[in-house]
């Protein structure tokens, strides 16, 4: 299932007032600080740079008109007005950017959210031009990247399954023009190309998450990923249930055995030209296509959202496609363990002892802690294949949502690598925060009968997110720098659309992973 139409970006450097588009977008700051008492209603508003020629066409009445229409410049606010012949575009749309940062351009994330919000609000228009404040120098790249990504992601819409045409539904914007000082600039053009690759990957990962879980069980998910990966020129290997059993992938088999749809392990390989810089990156993503909890069944309320329990695998699989397009100078291997966690007569059960891929014996206490079972095998396989850096991401624990909320991911692993992930997340607008792996949490997972319990032996949920990280560490070898990114909250947005987040899958942390791979390719 893919989204109905795609949106394309291009650059323009002609006068925005004369662009033949359906709508022209300008940025609007809410002014703070001291201002003259008699400034009037418009005194609270400030047009962002880039809007100069539009403002001139309105004879200096633009901020006043926007104020009359109720604009405040608050982030994400969109106010539209008819241009009535002042500029070529019939509609001018002002998007709020919040207060103007003193002496600096708005933060990239502010621009990314504004571009997303305004392109979404302009659905129904075919061609839209964005004039947003972009620095006019070498620093322009992060701002342009943010605007480009935000526009493409804000235009995303999941096709859905409605059998009747929806006449009232306005189609996403098809073409976005971004006003820049120099449209022929090689750096700017490269950013547009990169945004198509990266945002295209995020959109695909959102599609996979939003697909109904009966239409994306492990064999179908594996086929979809394998097909896209082959088309992108990646190496593809799919282990089916027979190969998994023969290979000793006890964790993946245990979780998958309760479902009629058998489990899979998909391995994707990107090989750079001439071996790249010699570094190897492994990406691992949790691919539970539906998590009922299994025999330790979840309550009905909200269970349907567990169709998103493959968000990690969706992010990793789609990140591999973006990597294939961007061609970084580093070897990247993706591992996507896929299973459906179901209760049935063949399910694994609390009390079972499972031999994992690395030989460790795990005592199962709660079949709902299934993510760590499939990930343990995938992590051990990634280490066996060899990696210098290992990034794993999963909708692993409700504890992550309790501790850090719906926007900030939890980070555990090698401290230096966690710091790199935190910085990368900060740079791309996918915040993540480091959490510890305490000895006492590991101690609490000592099992009477096996090498480790899958959760705290007394089923104490204290430090719940940390239990997940501590468990996963058992499957990573000491020679590998690793980071576990718990995305239970940020991978799925259940509220109304906001910024460049639409309802459903968000694509987090795909852009962080791509950023990290590019960084390792550039610097090692």
Instruction: Name the binder of 247 from Mn ion, Zn ion, ligand BES, none, CB < 5-8 A by kind.
Output: none
From the list Mn ion, Zn ion, ligand BES, none, which binds 336 (C-beta under 5 to 8 Å, kind-based)? none
Contacts of 114 (CB under 8 A, 6+ apart): 27, 75, 76, 95, 96, 97, 106, 132, 150, 499
If one asks whether residue 488 binds ligand BES (CB under 6 A), the answer comes out as: yes
Which position among 368, 430, 486, 518 is part of the footprint of Mn ion (CB under 5 A)?
A: 368
Q: Which of 455, 483, 514, 516 binds ligand BES (CB under 6 A)?
A: 455
Backbone φ and ψ of 154, nearest 5°: -70, -25
Known catalytic residue at 61: no
**Contact call for residue 366 and ligand BES (CB under 6 A):** yes
Contact indicator for 394, 286 with CB cutoff of 8 Å = yes
Residue of minimal Cβ distance to ligand BES: 398
317 near ligand BES, rule: CB under 6 A? no
Q: Is the Cβ–Cβ distance between 295 and 342 less than 8 Å?
A: no
Stretch that binds Mn ion, among 77-85, 190-198, 291-299, 323-331 (CB under 5 A): 291-299
C-beta closer to ligand BES: residue 172 or 399: 399
Instruction: Give the interface with Zn ion as residue ranges (CB under 5 A).
Output: 288, 291, 309, 371
Least distance (Å) from ligand BES to the CB of residue 268? 23
Which of these ranges, 141-149, 156-164, 257-265, 361-369, lies near ligand BES under the rule CB under 6 A?
A: 361-369
370 binds ligand BES per the rule CB under 6 A: yes
Smallest distance, Mn ion to C-beta of residue 300, A: 15
Q: Is 441 in the site for ligand BES (CB under 6 A)?
A: no
Stretch that binds Mn ion, among 68-76, 96-104, 361-369, 498-506 (CB under 5 A): 361-369
Residue number, 295 or 332, with CB nearest to ligand BES: 295
Catalytic residue among 80, 127, 189, 298: 298
Task: Provide the 8-state DSSP code for 273.
Answer: G
Taking CB under 6 A as the criterion, which residues in 395-434 touch ligand BES? 395-399, 401
63 vs 502, which CB is nearer to ligand BES?
A: 502
Cβ atoms of 224 and 320 closer than 8 Å = no
Vertex 368 angle, CA 459 and 464, to 5°: 45
Based on CB atoms, which residue is closest to ligand BES, 196 or 286? 286
Q: CA triplet 64, 65, 66: central angle to 5 degrees?
A: 90
- Strand 280-285 with 264-270, pairing: unpaired
How far apart, in whole angstroms, are the C-alpha atoms of residue 192 and residue 385? 35
Residue 488 touches which of Zn ion, ligand BES, Mn ion, none (Cβ within 5-8 Å per kind):
ligand BES
Residue 145 falls in the annotated catalytic set: no
Please state the three-class secondary structure of 361-427 as a single string.
Answer: EEECCCCCCCHHHHHHHHHHHHHHHCCCEEEEEECCCHHHHHHHCCCCEEEEECHHHHHHHHHHHHH
Triad 410, 502, 114: Cα angle to 5°:
90
DSSP H stretches of helix in 412-509 = 415-428, 439-443, 464-473
Binding of residue 207 to Mn ion (CB under 5 A): no
Task: Write out the H or E segment, with its range, that includes residue 519.
Answer: helix 510-523
Binding partner of residue 392 among ligand BES, Zn ion, Mn ion, none, CB cut-off 5 to 8 Å per kind:
none
Contact pick of 144, 261, 281, 369 for ligand BES (by CB under 6 A): 369
Contact 375, 284 (CB under 8 A): yes
Contact 234/270 with Cβ under 8 angstroms? yes
> Contact letters (x/-) for Mn ion, 216-255, by CB under 5 A?
----------------------------------------
Give the number of other CB atoms < 10 A from CB of residue 65: 15
Residue showing the smallest CB distance to Zn ion in the complex: 291
Length of the chain (residues):
524
Residues with Cβ within 8 Å of residue 200, at least 6 apart in sequence: 6, 152, 321, 322
> Binding pattern to ligand BES, positions 232-271, x when CB under 6 A?
----------------------------------------
Report how far residue 168's alpha carbon sits from residue 145's, in angstroms, rounded to the nearest whole number. Answer: 32
Q: Could you say which of 157, 372, 381, 511 is catalytic? A: 372
Cβ atoms of 310 and 221 closer than 8 Å: yes
d(CA 278, CA 365): 41
CA distance 282 to 67: 52
Query: DSSP secondary-structure letter at 215?
Result: G
**Is 309 among the residues that bind ligand BES (CB under 6 A)?**
yes
CB of 300 to ligand BES, least distance (A): 14
Active site residues: 298, 372
**What residue ranges bind ligand BES (CB under 6 A)?**
291, 309, 366, 368-371, 395-399, 401, 455, 488
């Amino acid at each position: 299932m893919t989204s109905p139409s795609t949106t394309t970006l291009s650059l323009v450097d002609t006068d925005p007032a004369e662009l033949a588009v359906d709508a022209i977008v300008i940025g609007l700051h809410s002014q703070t600080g001291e201002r003259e008492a008699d400034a009037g209603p418009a005194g609270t508003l400030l047009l962002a740079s880039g809007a100069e020629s539009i403002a001139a066409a309105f004879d200096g009445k633009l901020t006043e008109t926007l104020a009359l229409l109720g604009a405040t410049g608050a982030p994400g606010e969109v106010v539209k007005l008819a241009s009535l012949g002042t500029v070529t575009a019939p509609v001018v749309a002002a998007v709020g950017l919040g207060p103007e940062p003193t002496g600096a351009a708005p933060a990239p994330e502010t621009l990314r959210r504004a571009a997303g919000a305004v392109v979404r609000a302009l659905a129904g228009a075919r061609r839209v031009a964005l004039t947003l404040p972009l620095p006019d120098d070498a620093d322009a790249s992060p701002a342009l990247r943010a605007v480009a990504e935000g526009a493409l992601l804000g235009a995303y819409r999941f096709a859905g399954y409605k059998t009747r045409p929806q006449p009232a539904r306005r189609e996403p914007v098809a073409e976005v023009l971004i006003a820049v000082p120099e449209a022929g600039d090689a750096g700017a053009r490269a950013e547009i190309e990169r945004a198509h690759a990266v945002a295209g990957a995020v959109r695909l990962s959102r599609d996979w998450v939003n697909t109904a879980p009966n239409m994306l069980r492990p064999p179908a998910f594996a086929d979809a990923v394998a097909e896209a990966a082959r088309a992108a020129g990646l190496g593809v290997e799919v282990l089916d249930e027979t190969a998994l059993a023969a290979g000793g992938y006890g964790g993946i088999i245990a979780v998958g055995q309760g479902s009629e749809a058998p489990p899979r392990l998909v391995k994707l390989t990107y090989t750079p030209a001439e071996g790249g810089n010699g570094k190897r990156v492994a990406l691992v993503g949790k691919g539970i296509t539906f998590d009922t909890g299994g025999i330790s069944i979840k309550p009905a309320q909200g269970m349907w959202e567990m169709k998103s329990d493959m968000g990690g695998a969706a992010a990793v699989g789609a990140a591999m496609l973006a990597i294939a397009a961007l061609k970084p100078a580093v070897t990247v291997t993706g591992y996507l363990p896929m299973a459906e966690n179901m209760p049935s007569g063949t399910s694994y059960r609390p009390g079972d002892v499972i031999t994992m891929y690395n030989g460790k014996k795990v005592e199962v206490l709660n079949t709902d802690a299934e993510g760590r079972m499939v990930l343990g095998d995938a992590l051990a396989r990634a280490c066996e294949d060899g990696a210098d850096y290992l990034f794993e991401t999963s909708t692993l624990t409700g504890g992550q949502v309790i501790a850090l909320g719906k926007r900030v991911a939890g980070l555990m692993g090698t401290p230096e690598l966690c710091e790199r992930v935190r910085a990368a997340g900060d740079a791309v607008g996918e915040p993540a925060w480091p959490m510890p792996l305490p000895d006492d949490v590991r101690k609490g997972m000592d099992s009477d009968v096996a090498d480790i319990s899958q959760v705290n032996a007394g089923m104490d949920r204290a430090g719940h997110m940390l239990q997940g990280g501590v468990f996963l560490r058992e499957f990573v070898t000491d020679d590998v720098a690793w980071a576990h990114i718990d995305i239970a909250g940020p991978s799925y947005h259940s509220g109304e659309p906001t910024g460049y987040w639409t309802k459903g899958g968000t694509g987090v942390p795909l852009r962080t992973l791509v950023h990290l791979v590019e960084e390792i390719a550039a610097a090692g």
